[in-house]
A and B are shown apart, each in its own frame.
Chain A
C-alpha cells in the first residue's frame, strides 16, 4: 500500500481563530492524508514534532496579521535544525494578497488566502510532493 501523505497543522502564537485550520484539516483527511492538528504550539515544538513524526507537510493558519513574522520564524527554526528542505511549507488565513510574494520569498511553498477551495490545497500538496520525489529519485 502507498504511504499516506502526512501533514502537520498548527496555529502559531496566541491567535485563536480556529475555523480555518480545522476545516483544512478535515478536507485533507477526507482526501486520504493523515493530518496531525497540533493546536497552539511554539514554532520550536512544531519543528521538533515534524521531524520526529516524519511528516511531509507543515502548514499553519494565521489570522493575526503577523503572517510574515510567523513564516520567517518557522523557516529560521527549520534552518537551525538543518531541516529546511525536508518539508513542504503551507500558510493559509487572512492576509493581504500583496504579501503572497513575500511569503513565498521567505520560503512558504503554498500560500492560500480566504476563499481557497480545499481541493486546490490537496492538488498542490500531491503535485509538489510528487515532483519532489522525482527530483529526489533522479539525484540518487
Chain B
C-alpha cells in the first residue's frame, strides 16, 4: 500500500504552495464570512485536525446529528414544500392555498394580517384596524375565518402552520382545533405548528400593544403545556423558535442561533418550573431558521445548530426520549436579501438560498416570491417559488445523498468555528439572565439596532454588495405590476363579525370572558377557557383585550 502523507508533509507542501503564489495578487486584502469569520484562501486536512469523525460528525439520525436528524433524510422523504401565504379574506386565501396545493405544495402555512398578529378586531376602536385588514396576510378574527380558510382542504393529511405569536397563539390555534373537530377530526391526529415565538413578537416585529415579555412567555408555555404534556394535541408542534424573524433584522448567523437556543432554554425552564419533566415536552420543540446570503456559512450553521441542540440536551437536560435530541427546523429564504429593483434577480437569490437549506438538511422550506420586496406575491411569482423547490427535488439530484458537504475541509472547519461562536453568544445571554431579562433591559433591542445600522452602513458604502441597489444598477427600469389585496376585505370582515355577534350566545361569551379574567388573574393555563371561547364564537380582539386589561401593556425599552 502507498504511504499516506503525514501532517508535517502537508504543512511543508502548503507552505511551499503559499510561497509559490506570492506575486499573485488577490481581489481584496482579506475575506470574511457574513458573520465576520476570516476566510482563508484554502482549507486542507490541517483545518479539520482534532475533528473526530465518530464523535463530532457521526451518522445521520445519530448523535451528534451533524449530518441530519433522520437516518434516511431526503432518500426517505423530501422536505415539505411549505409556502407562507395569506391575503385579503379567508376565502381568497383558501383559493390561493388550493392553487399552491395543485402546484405541488405539501404543507400549508398561514400568513396573517397585522390585526390578527396584534389580536385586534376590525370593529374595535383601534387606529388602523380598518386600513390594514387582509393587507399583510389573512384576517383570522374568529372561528369562522379559520373555517373558511381551510374549507375543503385536506387538513387530515397535510400539516398546517399557524404563524401567530404568543399574544394570539392560544386563540387562533384553538380556533383551528375547533374547526378540525367540527370536520370530524380528532385533535390527537392533527399535524401542524404554531409559531408562538416571543422574540418574533418583540425584537423581530413589534406589534401594537404588546404584553410584557414574562406574560408572552407565559402564554407561549400555556400552548406548549396544553398540546404536549397535557396531551391535547400530541402531534402538534406548539412552538417554532423563529430565529428567521430576528435574522431579518440584520443580525448574523451566530446571533441567530445563539438567540434561538437562549429562547428555547427560557421555555424549557418555565415548563420545568411548572412541574413537568423534560421528557413530557421537549421532543416537540422545533425551529424556523433563515437561509441567508453566505452560502457555505449557512450550511455550516444548520450543521452546527443540530450539534449544539444535541449538546444542550445531553449536557444539561438529559431527556430519555431519543426524539428530543433531534433539532428539527423549517427554513425560509431571506426576505431581507430581496430587492425591489430588478426583482427577477430575487428568483436567483432564492434558488441559491433554497439550495443552502437543502444541503443543510431542513425538514420543510418556504421559498420567497420574487415580488416580495414590493407587495404580497402574485400567482405567477408564487408558482415560480414553488417550482424552485421542485427543480431541486426532481431535477438536481441533491436529495439522493445525505449531507454531501460533510468532509469538506472548509465546511467542517466552519461548522466547528460557528459551533464555538454560537455557544459563547448563547452563554452570554444566559449570563445576563436569559432572553426575558435581555428583553426587559433592552439589550436584545440594542443588538438588533447595532446590526441593522451596520448593515445600512455596509450597504451604503458598497462594502456589502447588493445587485441592482449598489452595483449593476439599471437606470430605466420597468416596475413590476403589483399584486393588490382585496380592497373590500375590511367591509367583508366587519360584516362577518357583525353576523357572528348576532348569531352567537352573547351571554355565554360574556361569562366565558369573565372566566378568562379569573384565569389570567390566577395565572392558570388560558387554553381550556380560550378553547371554549373560540368555539362559542368569541373574537380574537375580545380574548386579547382581556390579557391587555389584566396584565397591562409593555413599554418597550427602545435603543435607537
Contacts and interface: CB of A to CB of B under 8 A. Distances in A.
Interface stretch (B204-212, B399-407, B530-538): B204-212
Given A19-B452, A22-B452, A23-B456, A13 B340 contact: no
Contacts of A63: 136
B560 A19 contact: no
B136 to A, nearest CB: 6
Nearest to A15: B114
A64 to B, nearest CB: 5
A65 B375 contact: yes
B560 A14 contact: no
Interface stretch (A90-98, A103-111, A125-133): A90-98
Interface stretch (A37-45, A50-58, A78-86): A37-45
Contacts of A97: 340, 374, 479
A113 B207 contact: no
B107 interface: no
Interface residues of A, number: 39
Interface in B436-473: 448-449, 452-453, 456, 460, 466, 468-470
B128 A16 contact: no
A32 interface: no
B485 interface: yes
Contacts of A15: 114, 128, 132, 136
Contact of A64 (B114, B206, B469): B114
Contacts of A14: 114-115, 117-118, 120, 126-129, 132, 207-208
Given A14-B120, A96-B482, A65 B560 contact: no
Given A15-B136, A64-B132, A23 B453 contact: yes
A26 B136 contact: no
B456 A96 contact: no
B452 A96 contact: no
B303 interface: no
B376 interface: yes
Nearest to B448: A19
A91 to B, nearest CB: 14
Contacts of B460: 117-119
Contacts of B556: 39
Given A14-B120, A63-B136, A69-B131, A23 B340 contact: no
* Among B118, B340, B481, residue most surrounded by chain A Cβ atoms (within 10 Å): B340
A77 B376 CA distance: 29
A94 B341 CA distance: 12
Nearest to B455: A23
A25 B250 CA distance: 16
B136 A65 contact: yes
B378 to A, nearest CB: 11
A136 interface: no
A65 B249 contact: no
Contacts of A114: 339-340, 373-374
B306 interface: no
B339 A115 contact: yes
A15 B131 CA distance: 11
Contacts, number: 119
B156 to A, nearest CB: 33
B453 A18 contact: no
B114 A22 contact: no
Interface in B109-150: 114-115, 117-118, 120, 126-129, 131-132, 135-136
Contacts of A69: 131
Given A15-B114, A96-B479, A37 B339 contact: no
Given A13-B127, A22-B449, A97-B479, A66 B132 contact: yes
Contacts of A19: 248-250, 336, 448, 452
- Which of B118, B131, B448 has most chain A Cβ within 10 Å? B131
B452 A65 contact: no
A98 B479 contact: yes
Contacts of B120: 14
A27 B456 CA distance: 9
A65 B452 CA distance: 22
Interface string B224-261: 00000000000000000000000011100000000000
Contact of A17 (B205, B374, B469, B481): B205
Nearest to B126: A14
Contacts of A37: 558, 560
A39 B208 CA distance: 9
B165 to A, nearest CB: 10
Contact of B373 (A26, A39, A94): A94
A70 B485 CA distance: 16
A12 interface: yes
B449 A65 contact: no
Contacts of B375: 65, 94-96
Contacts of A119: 460
B66 to A, nearest CB: 33
Nearest to B373: A114
A65 B485 contact: yes
B456 A13 contact: no
Given A14-B117, A19-B452, A113 B340 contact: yes
Contacts of B453: 23, 26
B18 to A, nearest CB: 40
Contact of A13 (B132, B480, B485): B132
Interface in B186-223: 205-208
A115 B341 contact: yes
A75 to B, nearest CB: 14
A70 B131 contact: yes
A23 B453 CA distance: 6
Given A64-B114, A119-B460, A12 B128 contact: yes
Closest 6 CB pairs of A and B: A13-B128, A65-B135, A96-B482, A66-B131, A97-B479, A69-B131
9 contacts: A14-B128, A17-B205, A18-B205, A26-B560, A40-B206, A64-B128, A94-B375, A96-B375, A115-B373
Given A14-B207, A18-B206, 13 more contacts: A14-B118, A14-B128, A19-B248, A19-B250, A22-B560, A25-B560, A26-B453, A27-B456, A64-B132, A94-B375, A96-B375, A96-B480, A115-B341
Interface of A: 12-19, 22-23, 25-27, 29, 35, 37, 39-40, 42-43, 63-66, 69-70, 73, 94-99, 113-115, 117-119
